[in-house]
Structures are given as C-alpha cells and as structure tokens.
Amino acid sequence: MIRSAIEVVNLRKSFGKQAVLDGISLTVGKGSIYALLGPNGAGKTTLIHILSTLTAPDSGYARIEGCDVVQDRNAVRQAISLTGQFAAVDEVLTGRENIAMMARLSGLSPAEARIRTNELLRRFDLEEAAGKRARTYSGGMRRRLDLAVSLVVDKPVLFLDEPTTGLDTISRRSLWEIILQLKQQGRTIFLTTQYLEEADQLADEIAVLSGGRIAATGTALELKARVGGEVIELRNAQDEVIRAIPTSGDVQDVRRALNEAASACPSDTRVVIRKPSMDDVFVALTTDHPIESKEATLA
C-alpha cells in the first residue's frame, strides 16, 4: 500500500550552469492539497514539469503513486493530469470540441465522450458557451474549460500550475471552490502559486520555494508561527501602514514595541495588532534579512 501520492527525493535540475532545482525533497499525502509557493523564477514550473514527465531531472528521483517519473513514465501519465500555467486549450475549437477531443484521446468511445462532455459542460457552467470558439472565452471561462478538459478521465493526481494567475477575484474564488470540491472527491492536488492567500485558503501543506530550494514547509498556521507572534502595525491619519513591528506575542515584548513606537511616531498614529500574514512569512523566508530588519511588510 502506497501512502504518499507524490514522493520527491533530492531532485536536482540545472539549465546550463544555473541550478534551477537544487536538491528538492518533499512528500504529498494522498487526497491532500499541496501548494508550492514562490516568486517567479523560483523553479516551480520546472518541478511541475519533472513531476508530470515533461522534463527529466539531472539527479534524484520522483514517484507518483509509486511510479518513477522517468522509468515508469507511461504509468505516471495514466495517473496524472496537468493543467499548465497558460490555459492549454485549443483556441480554434469550441469548448465542446475541446472537451470531446481530450475525452477521445483519453480512450473514451465517441458515445462515451459525448456523454462525458455534456456532464463537464454542465458542471463547469459552460453550457451556454459550449458552441463558441475558446478564443472568445474570458480568462475565467478558459480556466474552467482547462480544468474540465483535465477531468475527462478520473485521474488520482492533478497538477495545477498557477491556476488563478491573471484571474479576477470572482473567477479566482469560484476556481478555489472547484479545487476544494476536487479534493473532497479524493484527488491529490499539487498546485503552484505566487499568491499567499491562495496557499493559505486551499493548501493542507505549503512549501516555500526560493532559489531552487525549499525554504520551509508546513501548514499555513505552522508557517505563520515560525515568524513569531502578533505584529504591531502603526498607521497614519490616512490609515496607511507606516510601520510594522513583529513581536513575540507576549506582554513584555508588545509593551517594548509600543514604547518604542510612542517615542518615535507623531501623535495621531494609530495602532493595529494583528496575526502575522502569509506575506510576513513569505518575506521572512525568501529574503536574506530576518523579518525584524524590515521597516514595513508587504501587508
């Protein structure tokens, strides 16, 4: 019995002299959502490409559902579905034709493909646009079509590379709902994102990728705890954050921070005490400076 859906051990990949992945190890439990968080160029897409058999690693290994991504490539391909960074739909074909094509390529008969296509169009709210070419779709519709296409056959492991990049807030939220539903149906989902909120909302476990290495892993709560306790935010009369002071969260330290603030700030400064955000975590983990030296965080 294999208990982990994805197992990655000491994976390395360089393009030319540049090490894109510099020794990555991670494990993803079956039926969970795992978020790989990192800025552009951190190596997120390269890792997804290796896990989805598109690129071979230089060293180390990765297994999906127990199958090696290099040696058992075909077995892996039967277990996974990749939704790439840019919606990978055929723009010349209609939404219906896109789904039907993938259904046929996945081995469904023409009759089965027709049934499945109708189901997916309904489920992803694309029935009205089914006969229109994908070129005319909005960003959100394109992403829904993209996901529908990747679900024509029930695959246990889904890779989503920046699923909501470029989407408006409403489309993003509706996509999050869909992703959470997919998890409830027992699928393992491995996603990459630049958005801290997305990782926070969706993921059971988060890995922060920075410079080809995993800077930290844990649940959103654990990661936030690593940064410390409450953050004291000082705001000016226009309610703009002028300074954020991290504290350990205990009374003495909060008093120290407030004393410091009281002596240094104009009299109309207001105070907000909040939990550290994922942004604080991100800044703390992906820069060389510890969070204490930051004058203000991104929040």
Partner 1 sequence: MNFSRSTVQPASFAATNAVFIGRSIRHSLRNVEALMMAIILPIMLMLMFTYVFGGAIDPSGDYVNYVVPGIILLCAGFGSSSTAVDVATDMSNGIIDRFRTMPIRSVSVITGHVVASLARNLLATGIVIGVALLVGFRPDAGIGDWLGALGLVVLFILAFTWLFAAIGIVTGSPSAASGYGFVLLFVPYLSSAFVPTSTMPSWLQGVAEHQPITPVIETIRALLTGTPVGDNGWWALSWCSAILAGALTWCAIAFRRRSGRR
CA distance 46 to 49: 5
Check residue 88 for interaction with partner 1 (CB under 8 A): yes
Name which position in 12, 30, 77, 235 contacts partner 1 (CB under 8 A). 77
Of 159 and 282, which has the nearer Cβ to partner 1? 159
Rg of the Cα atoms in the chain? 22
Q: What angle do CA 200, 252, 224 make, to 5 degrees?
A: 10
The distance of Cα 280 from the centroid of its chain, to the nearest Å, equals 17
Check residue 80 for interaction with partner 1 (CB under 8 A): yes
Q: Residue 21's CB: how many other CB atoms inside 10 A?
A: 26
Sheet holding 59-64, edge to edge: 18-29, 4-15, 59-64, 67-68
Crossing angle (nearest 10°) for helices 139-150 and 169-184 = 10
Of 114 and 294, which has the nearer Cβ to partner 1? 114
Per CB under 8 A, the segment of 3-11, 70-78, 165-173, 262-270 that binds partner 1 is 70-78
Check residue 204 for interaction with partner 1 (CB under 8 A): no
Check residue 262 for interaction with partner 1 (CB under 8 A): no
Per CB under 8 A, the segment of 47-55, 174-182, 210-218, 220-228 that binds partner 1 is 47-55
Name which position in 33, 87, 147, 215 contacts partner 1 (CB under 8 A). 87
Check residue 54 for interaction with partner 1 (CB under 8 A): yes
Of 50 and 208, which has the nearer Cβ to partner 1? 50
Check residue 52 for interaction with partner 1 (CB under 8 A): yes
Tracing tokens 């604080």 back to the chain, one arrives at: 280
Tracing tokens 């991104």 back to the chain, one arrives at: 298
Name which position in 44, 63, 96, 116 contacts partner 1 (CB under 8 A). 116
Check residue 74 for interaction with partner 1 (CB under 8 A): yes
Supply 271's token pair.
Answer: 């105070």
Q: What angle do CA 47, 50, 56 make, to 5 degrees?
A: 130
Check residue 123 for interaction with partner 1 (CB under 8 A): no
Tracing tokens 């820069």 back to the chain, one arrives at: 287
Of 48 and 196, which has the nearer Cβ to partner 1? 48
Of 13 and 243, which has the nearer Cβ to partner 1? 13
**Strand 270-274 to 231-235 pairing:** antiparallel
**Residues 142 to 201: which contact partner 1 by CB under 8 A?**
149-150, 152-156
Alpha carbons within 13 angstroms on the beta-carbon side of residue 140 total 14
Check residue 112 for interaction with partner 1 (CB under 8 A): yes
Of 161 and 200, which has the nearer Cβ to partner 1? 161
Min dist CB 149 to partner 1, Å, is 7
Check residue 84 for interaction with partner 1 (CB under 8 A): yes
Closest to 218 measured CA to CA, from 202, 208, 206: 206
Are the CB atoms for 67 and 90 separated by under 8 Å?
no
Min dist CB 101 to partner 1, Å, is 6
Tracing tokens 């968080």 back to the chain, one arrives at: 37
Min dist CB 206 to partner 1, Å, is 24
Binding region for partner 1 (CB under 8 A): 49, 52-56, 74, 77-93, 97, 101-102, 104-108, 112, 115-116, 119, 133, 149-150, 152-156
